[in-house]
């Protein structure tokens, strides 16, 4: 008889199929919205946001019903209350954002030098940063919420039951990066996905993950152009301050989330 560990949902293959199902739902919903657009009067970005919300909603509803998973369990499975997690864990998590932004931006720029963006990719990134209300909502609210629900709340949750800890973390980060379907965001997804997966594994809550993801995306929209135009001397000071903030945040998170084995056993 198979053990619960070997049958936990999803496996790596099931997670890939789940992502394909989500993409299919978004395509179907998007096509329906475009057909009805003469009455709705939506632009392309607004249709994309609605397609993502409705498509993800269909997939989440089906998966949660099949797994008998409640919204409370999806968002916050920790024994600590949601309020405690928000007040104690989220502030040091946000201290990691400047260092993550500099690290990911540097990796992205290096990759662009090696493999320049195509015209299609330039247009895609321009649409994401065009400053419209729909684009800001998509990048800063919708994407962090839906992606954390899928990749940490469902995928990583199952991986942690099925695979060894670090294998589950790296597999989920790899899937998170690959889901963006371009080499540039694959690198971004691997870095961010590993940090977010570790954070979820430690807290069993999507609250700090959504906060970090939303803060990082917002900082990218607000500061990317400034970082590109900043002088080397100013960038050095920014990097030093970001490093100091990241060290402080990491030390606090380590103190709160990385308990000694004896203490964890007694707890």
Per-residue pLDDT tens digits for 135-173: 788 888 988 999 999 999 999 999 999 999 999 999 999
Is there a domain that residue 20 lies in?
A: no
Is there a domain that residue 136 lies in?
A: yes
**For the chain, what is the domain count?**
1
Is there a domain that residue 21 lies in?
A: no
Max mean pLDDT among 1-5, 34-38, 112-116 falls in 112-116
What is the tens place of the pLDDT at every residue in 174-185? Answer: 999 888 878 888
The CA distance from 181 to 179, in Å, is 5
Is there a domain that residue 203 lies in?
A: yes
266 has pLDDT over 50? no
pLDDT over 90, % of the chain: 40
Is there a domain that residue 232 lies in?
A: yes
What is the tens place of the pLDDT at every residue in 11-68? Answer: 988 998 988 988 898 888 888 888 887 777 777 777 887 888 888 888 888 888 888 8
Is there a domain that residue 31 lies in?
A: no
pTM above 0.95, yes or no: no
Domain with 191 in it:
79-266
Q: How confident is the model at residue 267 (pLDDT cuts 50, 70, 90)?
A: very low
Is there a domain that residue 159 lies in?
A: yes
């Amino acid at each position: 008889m198979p053990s619960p560990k070997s049958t936990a949902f999803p496996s790596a293959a099931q997670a890939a199929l789940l992502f394909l199902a989500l993409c299919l739902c978004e395509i179907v919903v998007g096509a329906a919205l475009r057909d009805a657009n003469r009455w709705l009067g939506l632009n392309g970005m607004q249709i994309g946001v609605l397609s993502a919300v409705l498509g993800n909603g269909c997939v989440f509803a089906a998966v949660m019903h099949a797994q008998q998973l409640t919204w409370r369990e999806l968002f916050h499975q920790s024994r600590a209350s949601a309020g405690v997690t928000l007040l104690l864990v989220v502030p040091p998590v946000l201290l990691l954002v400047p260092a993550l932004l500099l690290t990911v931006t540097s990796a992205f720029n290096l990759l662009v030098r090696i493999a320049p963006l195509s015209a299609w990719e330039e247009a895609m990134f321009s649409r994401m940063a065009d400053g419209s209300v729909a684009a800001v909502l998509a990048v800063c609210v919708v994407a962090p919420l839906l992606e954390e629900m899928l990749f940490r709340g469902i995928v990583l949750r199952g991986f942690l039951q099925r695979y060894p800890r670090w294998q589950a973390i790296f597999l989920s980060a790899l899937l998170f990066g690959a889901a963006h379907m371009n080499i540039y965001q694959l690198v971004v997804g691997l870095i961010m996905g590993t940090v977010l997966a570790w954070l979820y594994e430690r807290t069993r809550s999507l609250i700090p993950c959504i906060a970090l993801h939303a803060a990082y995306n917002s900082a990218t929209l607000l500061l990317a152009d400034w970082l590109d135009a900043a002088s080397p001397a100013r960038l050095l000071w920014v990097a030093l301050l970001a490093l100091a903030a990241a060290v402080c945040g990491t030390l606090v998170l380590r103190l709160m989330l990385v308990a000694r084995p004896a203490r964890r056993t007694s707890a």
